[in-house]
A = this chain, B = another copy of it.
Amino acid sequence: MGDKILKIDKLPTVRRLPAYLRLLKVFSSQGIDTVSSGQLAELMGIESILVRKDLELTGISGTPRIGFRISDLIRSIESFLGWATSTDAFLFGVGQLGTALLGYRELGQSGLKIIAAFDTDSDKLNRTFNGVRVFHVDKAPELLSRLNVQLAILTVPPEHAQQVTDLLVMNGIQGIWNYTPVSLEVPEGVTVQKEDLLSGLAVLSVRMSRAVVSQRCEEGS
């Protein structure tokens, strides 16, 4: 069929799903069992119509005057994201960011279980960070295939990013959550999700400078 890279649409919606999930779980823990698009919109800082559009994707329909059943939504969103069942992952690069991710408890609640970490620094080897054991990268190939791990988190220094990636690909990795600034080369079929911490800062910077400008305009008027 298509020789293009597989794209998904509704990407902004998918990005918002974790935030919905969080809110829904809070409601749920409070014993509340329905919620309206308006309530969610208020808490998310978006329009209610957008919430309804987003929730359309889950296949759950609400009831007029009442809203949506929270338990249904949670189940449906989790299943849509594949978070209903836990996925094992390896983390590569136990630096500061890597360690932070190892200790990030929400990942576990999102169906992601980091079962081992890898580094080359002898100070870190065979130690445990946030409950996760650190192995030498040389051990990765064997463990990848033995434990059939399909997802890797990449927090290595940029100069090693491609090299580690090649190793991962050779051992059957399916997805890479890439926190390095490197655009990784991977064969078709391997999914890379790149994160750039600076892009958020860029947006903040621009919005702040515009806020100042608009303030000046108001003063002038």
Chain A residues close to B by CB (< 8 Å): 1, 6, 8, 11, 14-19, 22, 43-45, 80-83, 87, 96-97, 99-100, 103-104, 106-107, 110-112, 130, 150-151, 174-175, 177, 181, 183, 189, 191, 193, 195-212, 214-215, 217
Contacts and interface: CB of A to CB of B under 8 A. Distances in A.
Given A82-B209, A96-B99, A204 B191 contact: yes
Given A19-B196, A189-B211, A203-B15, A96 B107 contact: no
A202 to B, nearest CB: 5
Number of copies: 2
A211 B191 contact: yes
26 contacts: A6-B210, A6-B214, A8-B203, A11-B203, A14-B199, A15-B202, A18-B202, A19-B199, A45-B183, A82-B205, A82-B206, A96-B100, A97-B100, A97-B104, A106-B197, A107-B198, A112-B201, A151-B208, A174-B211, A175-B211, A177-B200, A177-B201, A189-B211, A191-B207, A193-B201, A195-B200
Contact of A8 (B1, B43, B193, B206): B206
A206 B81 contact: yes
Contacts of A110: 198, 201
Given A43-B183, A214-B6, A81 B193 contact: no
Name the residue among A45, A97, A196, A197 with the largest chain B CB count within 10 angstroms.
Answer: A197
Nearest to A87: B205
